[in-house]
């Protein structure tokens, strides 16, 4: 499978390195927030440590 990622109308790999790093950081931060929200939700639901660690892929 090949994935082509565009930022606006520009293919990611065609962006200057500085813009690539900015985009990586932006999406990394967004993903971290999604994961954190899910972990907090799981804790509030009383999920076990093992279930949370499994969700995080740390088992």
> What is the model's pTM?
0.72
**What pLDDT, in 10s, does the model give residues 15-43?**
999 999 999 999 999 999 999 999 999 99
Distance CA 21, CA 27 (A): 10
Distance CA 29, CA 53 (A): 20
Q: Read off the pLDDT band of 59 (50, 70, 90).
A: confident
Residue 7 CB coordination number (10 Å): 15
Q: Where are the domains of the chain?
A: 16-55
């Amino acid at each position: 499978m090949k994935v082509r990622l565009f930022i606006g109308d520009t293919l990611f790999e065609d962006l200057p390195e500085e813009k690539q790093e900015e985009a990586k950081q932006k999406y990394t931060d967004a993903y971290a927030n999604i994961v954190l929200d899910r972990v907090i939700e799981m804790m509030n639901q009383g999920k076990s440590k093992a279930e949370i660690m499994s969700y995080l892929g740390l088992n």
